Amino acid sequence: MKKLISFLFLYAFIISFGQVYQPIDTADYAQRKDFLKIFSVNAENLIKKSKTDYSGKKGNELSKYYKEFEKDFEGKVKEKDFVFNSVFDSKVKSLIERLKKNNPQIPQNLKILVAKDNTPNAYCFADGTFVINMGLFNWLNNDDQLAAVISHELGHKISEHTLKTLLSIIDQDQMDRTVVQSIKSTKENRNQRAFDVLKSRIYRKGAENRRQEMQADSLGYVVFKNSDFKKTEFINTLKRLEDFDTISPRTLKVETYKKYFNLPQQAFKDKWLKKEDFSLYNYNHFKEKLDKDSLKSHPEIVLRINNLKKIFPELKTDVADEKPSDSYKTLEKIARMETLPNFYHSEDYGVGIYASLQFLQDEEEEKYYKNWLGKCFAKIYEARKNYNLNRYLDRVDPKNQSESYQQFLNFMWNLSLDEIKNIADYYRTEKS
């Protein structure tokens, strides 16, 4: 559900460009090639270092993880999941330089990448590759809040949480093998004992992840407050991310469907909005074996905020968000306009249609979003024709989806192949 949420925050202003917005060009072959060359060298050095620092089986297992990561990440770079030398790069680099001034513990070899991902997130890998998602620019409110997220991730890097997690996995694998052999040697309660091993491992992993998040908050805040950013924006950043975790999508009105799908050659049909009846399904009887709360990798945001306020008294008083700089406002607008190109790139065509309708309902850049509506419907048509629509369009899930999104999914699944094609053709040729 999170991929549905990042574009739903209603801004106080409507983006206005003099002409139809042109998405960021990803034909940056030279820059991508240069990055991969440096990345490959650094990855090999990291693998050699792991074998030197950790002899025997542990070193071999650690280097195996790094090799798998290197291969996977190189694939993402080649698939253009990241943009190079974009308008976002200079902003991120300038913020990191401000953080470095009074924080010599920050690694000097960070390599910055901006991901075509709408979720407000960032992460730093063991080799010093630092990834910032475009969704952060769209979701956060100013430079200070972006710097707060970067500081948190630097807290992970300074603490070498990635390395520690991998070492813990390697140690736990060895312990589990011993337990599994013991289970195999007896016939009684094998299934239950095996499940208990799995459950115990998952719970321990969740608890360790939560501890690391708390630690990264504390270390990140120290980095943040040593710089020239407003201290209270660190707490405000967590509040913004809490909104991302909890905000309910705005309702897509029936009038919006009728406005954009009542076409000259295909009149709107009320039956398209018919919902599947789930009243006979009794979800109260469903009971999961695992405790969901114990599986969360991030502590509840409110607990993280309270923890910081307890450790750092200067954070106890809540203060309103800082106003964004003009440069941040510009990047915020661009990130918002990149929402649809990003969904299209990740093949989230169903979500792309839902997002387009949300923007159109708000009367934002009508020509631009109608064009994306056509592109996404064309992909949905191809998927429906090839019997693989499930890959690009969710099924209705009453337990985990808003009423608005369920209505949208019912609408999409109610359309026939020809009706989908007619909509795709109309919006790919329609001129505003």
pLDDT tens for the chain, residues 1 to 432: 545 544 443 333 333 444 678 888 877 788 899 999 999 999 999 999 998 999 888 889 899 989 999 999 999 999 999 998 788 988 999 999 999 999 999 988 888 899 999 999 998 888 888 899 999 999 999 999 999 999 999 999 998 888 888 888 887 777 666 666 666 666 666 666 666 656 665 656 667 778 889 999 999 999 999 999 999 999 999 999 888 866 666 789 999 999 999 999 999 999 999 987 655 444 444 444 444 444 444 558 888 999 999 999 999 999 999 999 999 999 999 999 999 999 999 999 999 999 999 999 999 899 999 999 999 999 999 999 999 999 999 999 888 888 899 999 999 999 999 999 999 999 998 754
Q: Would you tell me how many other CB atoms lie within 10 Å of the CB of residue 429?
A: 8
- 86 backbone dihedrals φ, ψ, rounded to 5°: -85, 175
User: Tokens 């998405």, residue?
Assistant: 23
pLDDT at residue 301, as a whole number: 85
pLDDT at residue 177, as a whole number: 67
How close are the terminal C-alpha atoms of the chain, in Å? 32
User: Tokens 């969704």, residue?
Assistant: 135
Tokens of 335: 């990130």
pLDDT at residue 293, as a whole number: 44
**Cα-based distances in Å from 188 to 180, 183, 196, 289, 316:** 13, 8, 14, 21, 55
Give every CB contact of residue 115 below 8 A, 6+ residues apart in sequence: 81, 82, 131, 132, 133, 134
pLDDT at residue 130, as a whole number: 87
pTM of this prediction? 0.83
Beta strands in 253-320 (DSSP E): none
Return the domain boundaries, the chain: 2-247+300-315, 254-289+328-429
pLDDT at residue 140, as a whole number: 95
Beta-ladder partners of 111: 129
Give every CB contact of residue 285 below 8 A, 6+ residues apart in sequence: none
Helix (H, G, I), strand (E, B) or coil at 352: helix
* DSSP codes of every residue in 184-248: HT--TTHHHHHHHHHHHHHHHHHHHHHHHHHHHHHHHHHHHHTTTS-TTHHHHHHHHHHHHHHPP
pLDDT at residue 15, as a whole number: 37
